Structure 1
Amino acid sequence: MTAVRRLKISPTMQKNLPEVVNRFLGYKQAQGLAPRSLMDYQHTFNKFMQYTTSDELAVAPLQDALLLFFQRFKDQSPTSYNIPYKNLNCFFAWCIEQEYLSQNPLKRIGLKIKKDTPKVKHHDADTISKLIKAPGLGTLTGLRDYSLMLLTLDCGIRPSEAFGLRIPDIDFVHKRVTISAAISKTRVARELPLSAPVLQTLEKLISVRLTQFEDYVFMGLDGNPLNRNSWNRRLALYCEKAGIEKVRPYDLRHCFAIMFIRNGGDPFALQILMGHADLQMTKLYVKLANSDVVKQHTQSSPVKQFVKRSTRVTKLFR
C-alpha cells in the first residue's frame, strides 16, 4: 500500500489563523457537512476572531482570546455555549492533526462542555388539531403548509430534512419517503413510511406546484426551498389565527414522538424513525410519555368508583 504523504504547509501559513480556518472549512465541506452546519462553523469563527488580537495561530494568544470569547456566554443557555465550544474544539483537534498546533488551547485553559438537558415542548391533541385547521387549502402556500404539518406529525421528519426533500424522494407506490444522506442531519440515509392521508395531500401539492422551478417539495413562490425562519413565521401566523399557544417547527416533531409512544409504538422503532444515533433522546420521549400516563391514571383510575367505604380503623387497645 502506498503511504499517504502529509501536505507540507509553509511556515507563514502555519501562523495565519484566517487562512487555516478557510482550509478547515474547505475540509469540512469536502466531508459533506450539511450547509447549515457549515454556516454554524463560519458564524463561530467570525465571532471568535473578533476577540483575537492578531492573525497568529499560536496556543498562548488563542487561550487569551478564548477566555474573552466564552465570557459572553456566562448567562446564556448551555446550547448557546456548547455549539461554539464543539466547533472550536473540532477545529483545534484538526489543527493538531495537521501539525498547525501542538496543543489544544481549549483544553489548556480547562474549559469543558456544559451539560445540556434537551427541552421538549409538547402540545395536546386539541392544540395541534386547531393548528392544522388554520391553513387555507385554497392557496398553494396554505396547501404546502398543511402538507408539511401532516408530514411531520406522520413520521417525525426534521424540519431541515423536510425542506431539502425533492419530488423523487417520495415513493407513492411503496408509501415512503427517503431522507438522503445529503439532507440528513446525521449524514445517514433512512426511509420513513407514510400514511395514506399524507400521501394524498403530498400528491395534491405536487400536482399544483409551480413547475418552472426546481423539484423541491416544499418551496416558496420564488422557487427557493422553505427555510427554518420562514416556516417559523408561518407557524406563528397560524397559531395567532387559531388562538393557541406558540408552536415551533420542532414541536411538531416532538409531538409525533410522544404520541407515537403513547399509542403503543416501540422505542427502538421510534429511534429509527427519528434518525437518532442512540437511545438517549428516545428515552426522554418515553419518559415524557410515561409521565402523562401517571397523570391520566391519577385522574381516571376505575378503583375510585368502587372504593368509597371508610377505612378508618377503630383502636382496640388504649
Structure 2
Amino acid sequence: MFRRWLVAEEKVDFISRILRTDIDRYVDYLKNTRQLSNGSINTHIRGLKAFFGFLQDSRFIRKSPMNDNPLLKVRSGNIETFTIKQLGALLNAPNKRTFTGVRDYTFMLLLLETGLRLSEATAVLVEDVKLAEGLVFVRHTKNDFHRYVPIQAKMKEQLKR
C-alpha cells in the first residue's frame, strides 16, 4: 500500500529520498482518505519501521525516516467486569465442605484480592505465602520481575484453612 501511495504521489525515484514528512503525509492519507483506525495505521507504521530498519542495517540508506516515529494512540474499549450478583454466584459455587471446594474458593479469593494473572497464581508455592508479613511472593510473572503482593486479614485466614 505504501508503494502504491508513493507511485500516486510520484515519489518512486529513489527510496533514499523518502523523508519523515513523506511518512507523516502517508499516515494522514491512511487516516483521512482510507479512514483506517489508529490500530490499523500502527500496523502499517510497524511494517515501515521494519522495512526502513532493514534498509538502514543493510546500508542501502544512511538514516531511516522512521527513526523516532511514534505509534498512534489507540483507545481501548471498556472492559466488562462481573456484577456483584455474578461475583456472589461465582464465590458461592464451590462446595466449601469438601477439600476441592475450599481449594477452589481460596483460589478465587486470591485472584480477586490480588489481581494476579492465572499463570502467576497457579505458580505460587506454599513457601511463597508469607502469612506473618501478609505477602505473597509472585515468581512467574509476565515480564520476569518477581514481586510481593499484599494480602488482607481475610485472605490470610482463608489461606490458613
TM range (shorter): 0.5 to 0.7
Cα contact 1:92–1:101 (8 A) shared by 2: no
Q: Which runs of 5+ in 2 are unaligned?
A: 1-35
Q: Deviations over 1:96-126 (max 9, x none)?
A: 5xx46868xxx6xx9x556132432223323
Instruction: Say whether residues 1:190 and 2:134 are aligned partners.
Output: no
Counterpart of 1:175, as a letter, is G
Cα contact 1:169–1:178 (8 A) shared by 2: yes
* Counterpart selection for 2:124 from 159, 165, 173: 165
Partner of residue 57, structure 1: none
Classify 1:148/1:114 alpha carbon distance in 2 versus 1 (closer, same or farther; 3 Å).
same
The alignment-based identity, stated in percent, is 22
Counterpart of 2:79, as a letter, is V
Partner of residue 120, structure 1: 79
Classify 1:92/1:170 alpha carbon distance in 2 versus 1 (closer, same or farther; 3 Å).
farther
Partner of residue 7, structure 1: none
1:186 Cα offset (Å): 3.9
1:199 Cα offset (Å): 2.4
Cα contact 1:150–1:198 (8 A) shared by 2: yes
Classify 1:102/1:148 alpha carbon distance in 2 versus 1 (closer, same or farther; 3 Å).
farther
* Counterpart selection for 2:102 from 143, 164, 180: 143
1:132 Cα offset (Å): 0.2
Instruction: Say whether residues 1:174 and 2:133 are aligned partners.
Output: yes
In 1, the alpha carbon distance for the partners of 2:123 and 2:134 equals 19
- If the length of structure 2 is used for normalisation, what is the TM-score? 0.52
Counterpart of 1:187, as a letter, is D
1:200 Cα offset (Å): 3.1
SS in structure 2 at match of 1:191: strand
Counterpart of 2:78, as a letter, is K
In 1, the alpha carbon distance for the partners of 2:126 and 2:132 equals 13
In 2, the alpha carbon distance for the partners of 1:172 and 1:195 equals 10
In 2, the alpha carbon distance for the partners of 1:191 and 1:92 equals 38
In 2, the alpha carbon distance for the partners of 1:186 and 1:192 equals 15
Partner of residue 202, structure 1: 159
SS in structure 1 at match of 2:102: helix
What does 1:56-95 correspond to in 2, within 5 Å? 78=39, 85=43, 92=50
Aligned residues: 117
Partner of residue 31, structure 2: none
Higher relative contact order (CA 8 A, sep 6+): 1
In 1, the alpha carbon distance for the partners of 2:94 and 2:85 equals 16
Q: Deviations over 1:49-88 (max 9, x none)?
A: xxxxxxxxxxxxxxxxxxxxxxxxxx9xx5xx69x95xx7
In 1, the alpha carbon distance for the partners of 2:104 and 2:58 equals 48
